[in-house]
Amino acid sequence: MLKMLDVGKWPLFALHSQEELKLIRQVCVFGSAGNEVLYATENDEVFALGTNCSGSLGIGDVQSSIEPRRINILCGKKLASLSYGSGPHVVLATTEGEVYAWGHNAYSQLGNGTTSHSYIPCQISTNLVNKKVIEVACGSHHSMVLTADGEVYSWGYNNSGQIGSGSTANQPIPRRVTGCLQNKIAINIACGQMCSMAVIENGEVYVWGYNGNGQLGLGNGGNQPTPCRIAALQGIHVQRIACGYAHTLVLTDEGHIYAWGANSYGQLGTGNRSNQLHPVLVTIHQDRIVEIAACHSSHTSAAKTQGDDVYMWGQCRGQSIILPFLTHFCCTDDVFACFATPAVTWRLLSVEPDNHLTIAQSIKKAFDNPDNADLRFQVDGKYIYVHKVFLKIRCEHFHSVLNNGTEEIIEISEFSYPVYRAFLEYLYTDSISLPPEDAIGLLDLASFYRDNRLKKLCQQTIKQGISEENAIALLSTAIKYEAKKAIMFGRDSGKRKPGCQRIRWLDNIKALSSQSTEMLKVVQD
């Protein structure tokens, strides 16, 4: 659940006033070019606008609209889950468990037994009577739902077995996916363009449909007409699954990501562009992963850590990012708004109507806030407001020096204000946001306080910040810092400043200097 819903990242909302945007509680942007949008307001009114391909706006006609038009049949209903296909068609579940579908229907993906497009949402009842649907998923032209009792139903296009019926005949109405799923309880479903997947309550993953790029993770490239368990994940407990166009991501109960399938854009995050027929572990941050994101209309992948760091990889604005890249986004949804092609949402975005903050958000908000701080650091004549108990919990150095102290102000002269503030903010947020020049100073500080995780974050920031434009300046800054520390810590005189330890700065920036020197050669050439 998102706390801040910034729909302004999508151009379709450019003509909305700020007052109108504040009323929005749920949003889905979809379509072949991200030109269709559906949203719900705080009063449970549902609106749509955009190009309206195949009547996918559900407003009763095929006229495009730059202004929001109300979808009357959905007003007053609370939306629980929404997905869309390539036609596009839309499938929606309410919090009451009802299912509605509309839009493109040439392959019976609306589940109403016909192949006629529908310009208004129609409730799907066949075989779903007395079933409460809690999740929906769409492929390019097929649909799937998950019920509260763990059953999976599918319908629509079936040329590659994506319906899981055992044949390749299209399925005009919902049918329960059985076979190996017959007596199992599913907890999560996902669709690629022409494949389907389900996670079972015991952490097993079952897959079926098109497998030309190895997106089923079965170790081969053959299509699978009925659900089949991924044997390579034996002993690994999967919690969530996400499908891209032709690649797959799963999140385990230990906070790890495994990926497989197509990789021509680096969407597996393995450091190369080779397809993978078996699941491979994706190496990201040491922090636990709590969310994965992918969408069947794109080759983009994203993930969020427990410390709220957001990574992206794959096809991002035309570039191929083959390893997870740390962004400055606060949610995975921003990755798809700003970098995916098309710029669509990978899920139904939601925002809480109140001002409730999570623990992490509350702690972040408390940093450098004089209202309830009990300690101030004075650096370069400026104050930084913090809390003794929190510093003692988060940092071994402060646990020692503040254990019996009664200080209210501590002066810091060894480091600059931006560097020391970034260090204290890191203790509150587990992340850093600094230009590479200041990150050099923070790397020095991390060595001083023996914080290996902070050192790695600094090294990553410096490495990613090296460019042809700043290589010379960056290397110069590194050399200046080395000279400054040599004097400050008595490297030449053999003396050390009281209370300080000698820092092996040169060792810490060895990799940086090497990279900068290489970049410097590029500049000179």
Query: Which residues are CB-contacts of 22 (< 8 A; sequence separation ≥ 6)?
Result: none
Closest CA to 143 of 87, 97, 185, 73: 87
Half-sphere exposure of 110 (CA within 13 A, CB side): 27
Q: What is the Cα–Cα distance from 514 to 356, expressed in whole angstroms? A: 47
Residue range(s) in the chain whose domain bears CATH number 3.30.710.10: 359-485
Query: Which secondary-structure segment (H or E) carries 146?
Result: strand 142-147
Three-state DSSP state, 77: coil
pLDDT in the model for residue 480: 61
Q: Strand order of the sheet with strand 375-379?
A: 382-386, 375-379, 409-412
pLDDT of amino acid 512: 45
405 three-state secondary structure: coil
Cβ neighbors of 226 (< 8 A, separation 6 or more) are 161, 164, 165, 166, 179, 180, 208
Residues 354-380, buried b or exposed e (16+ Cβ, 10 A)?
Answer: eeeeeeeeebbebbbeeeebebbbebe
Question: In a 3-state reduction of DSSP, which class is residue 393?
Answer: helix
Enter the tokens of residue 38: 């559906």
pLDDT, residue 468, reads 65
- 166 within 8 A of 172, measured Cβ to Cβ: no
What pLDDT was estimated at residue 405?
A: 66
Would you give the DSSP letter of residue 161?
S
Domain with CATH 2.130.10.30 in the chain: 7-350
In this prediction, residue 37 carries a pLDDT of 96
Tokens of 84: 């869309």
Q: Which CATH number fits domain 7-350: 3.40.50.300, 2.130.10.30, 3.30.70.3270, 1.10.1060.10?
A: 2.130.10.30
pLDDT recorded at residue 241: 98
Other beta carbons less than 10 A from residue 105's beta carbon: 25
The first and second tokens of residue 160, run together, are: 């590659």
Measured CA to CA, the distance from residue 86 to residue 93 in angstroms comes to 19
Q: Which residue has the tokens 């939306």?
A: 79
The confidence score (pLDDT) of residue 402 equals 85
Residue 104 contacts residue 88 (beta carbons within 8 Å) = yes
Amino acid at 330: C
Distance in angstroms (rounded) separating the CA atoms of residues 24 and 351: 8
CA dist., res. 248 & res. 263, Å (int):
10
Beta strands in 262-398 (DSSP E): 276-282, 289-294, 300-305, 310-316, 319-326, 349-350, 375-379, 382-386
CATH of domain 359-485: 3.30.710.10
* pLDDT less than 70: residues of the chain: 1-6, 352-356, 404-405, 467-470, 477-525
Cis bond leading into 370, ω under 30°? no
pLDDT of residue 503: 36
What predicted TM-score, i.e. pTM, was given to this entire model?
0.68
CB 5 within 8 A of CB 40: no
pLDDT at 407: 79
Could you say which DSSP state residue 351 is in?
B
pLDDT value of residue 53: 96
User: By C-alpha distance, which of 102, 106, 107 is closest to 118?
Assistant: 102
